[in-house]
Structure 1
């Protein structure tokens, strides 16, 4: 391999890892690390960044890492390389979630380039939306994005079902807010104003005085009694938006990674059309509520994410750790 080809591969691999860290993760825990060995990227789960109370099985951690894997795949394709992916390649190394190698040259299509351009722009929303509805055509496209990754996105059209999901979310939030371990875990990832930590949820990433949506979907209490939060005027942003649930047919570790990849593809496609997402994972962190959802609302499919989608003038803020903190390099091409 000549020097120019080697340099091109090295550049592509590093660009893919740089993009991976911009994936969404629960509480912005960024529960991943990467090992680069020549033209192979290994994606590993970082158990030290897991939620020992809210995510005992590691489901949300793997969904987060699946979103990072989606970014790797997109960027490699955007740079003209097929990504050869092996998910859970070694049963004896459970922290190794996937390996990605550069495959044959492949020209990126316009859609791939569009998604790549949104990776660092996408932000999680934590309030209401404007009254502008998400267009039906875009909703259909988001459903297709999920299906392309082997998951299902179900827009919740029934007002009764939306109310039920809102009630389950509020019930879970109320219970968790009274649980000391749950509360301490959330506070671990809450960043006070002026914090320089490159992880967790910034105080400016949610409203200081949140307005209730109709129906109301409870938000996490990252401020916990402090007067933290953004100053933006959200007086017009009280719509619930479009409620949707991401599901899989089974509930293995591979399914969780699949769900994460589908989730990120949905979010990037939505962001390219000016639509942002708010997440509500509280009822999914409680076995009986998640099982109730599965059996009574989702025809037996396993819920992996509850989200609201809509338009907002807010750009939002986010932070990420420096690449040096998550990347280990072992070889050269």
Structure 2
């Protein structure tokens, strides 16, 4: 396995059961870094102490064009936080979470403090096992419906995190959302700043970079993957992407749209936690997901999306869900690169 994929080889048998609490907490960060993030920027940092982990937003990895408020950045950090909570339960560690524990420090998103041992339950096993299986799948899905009970479970997960998941399987509503996605593709492709930003995070298949999106994640072969960054940064690819996204949505049994009551960092973290909980539950059932968030990212389309879905809150994320072929993982940074050292 390439060095930039080694993080996915984490083994539960390596958990330092005889080590210190700090050693155990550090091990959990190995699962945190497997969370999804926009353009695979991995915008998180962690600070370890003897009995706690602090999670920071790494704004040096922000995407100012597509994500000017760092909304998706913080959602990504919420997903990483979720992986810590899931893995801590599996290893019998109880963690207390405080969000924004230091007034005025909006980079410090959460502090997770060890409060003692806890018993692992059967309910802890499936989501934990899915952490290393969950990979964003940008390829077509199979023509297979998702059981209604599973979709209800997804909705329950969202409500437990005090956000809402709108499951969309009505073909007329899907078609209206598809049209917004197509508009978003064309508008983003015409924005040169957006194209340059995206091109910086798309890499050839054989690249050794530890972040960003390799061409194989889009179904590109090795040779064509070398042209990806140039194509994205210099040509108008809007119509091509719009057609591709239409086919992806039409071939997906359902769409899921996350909605929050407010639009503040606290809400974004909650969406991230709910998202990763859903993705882990989905992965344990063999269900994959990818994102089509253009109608949320393009301001003039967001209000239209709200009207289509008849929601009063704030749409945060659009995903498609379905059964697909197994895909390769994307690169991850080394755990030592995301842990802040004492100054």
Normalised TM-score (structure 2): 0.85
Separation in 2, partners of 1:116, 1:239: 29
- 2:236: which partner in 1? none
Q: Is 2:160 the counterpart of 1:148? A: yes
Separation in 2, partners of 1:224, 1:150: 42
Q: How does 1:136-215 map to 2 (within 5 A)?
A: 136-208=148-220
Separation in 2, partners of 1:262, 1:43: 17
Separation in 1, partners of 2:296, 2:166: 16
- 2:124: which partner in 1? 112
Shift of 1:240: 2.2
Distance 1:102 1:166, change over 3 A: same
Shift of 1:201: 0.5
Deviations 1:105-137 (A, max 9, x none): 221221222111111221001122000111111
Separation in 1, partners of 2:198, 2:177: 22
Give the conservation status (yes or no) of the 8 Å contact 1:83–1:100: yes
Separation in 2, partners of 1:91, 1:84: 18
Give the conservation status (yes or no) of the 8 Å contact 2:139–2:324: no
Distance 1:72 1:222, change over 3 A: farther
Deviations 1:210-245 (A, max 9, x none): xxxxxxxxxxx965538xxxxxxxxx9872231111
- 1:56: which partner in 2? 68
Q: Is 2:82 the counterpart of 1:70? A: yes
Separation in 2, partners of 1:262, 1:5: 29
Q: Is 2:147 the counterpart of 1:135? A: yes
- 1:26: which partner in 2? 38
Normalised TM-score (structure 1): 0.87
Shift of 1:157: 2.6
Structure 1 unaligned segments of length 5 or more: list them: 210-220, 227-235
Give the conservation status (yes or no) of the 8 Å contact 1:128–1:241: no
Deviations 1:1-23 (A, max 9, x none): xxx99824133201211111000
| Superposed CA RMSD | 2.2
* Secondary structure of 1:102 counterpart: strand
Deviations 1:275-333 (A, max 9, x none): 000111222112221232224424212111101000112323311000111012449xx
Shift of 1:35: 0.5
Distance 1:223 1:129, change over 3 A: farther
Q: How does 1:89-104 map to 2 (within 5 A)?
A: 89-104=101-116
Answer with 94-103 or 267-276: which moved more: 94-103
Separation in 1, partners of 2:316, 2:337: 28
- 1:311: which partner in 2? 323
Give the conservation status (yes or no) of the 8 Å contact 1:24–1:64: yes
Distance 1:147 1:201, change over 3 A: same
Partner residue of 2:231 out of 205, 222, 225: 225
Give the conservation status (yes or no) of the 8 Å contact 1:15–1:75: no
Give the conservation status (yes or no) of the 8 Å contact 1:70–1:264: yes
- 1:232: which partner in 2? none
* Secondary structure of 1:170 counterpart: helix
| Equivalenced residues, count | 308
Q: Is 2:133 the counterpart of 1:121? A: yes
* Secondary structure of 1:129 counterpart: coil
Separation in 1, partners of 2:72, 2:179: 21
- 1:213: which partner in 2? none
Shift of 1:145: 1.6
Separation in 2, partners of 1:88, 1:281: 26
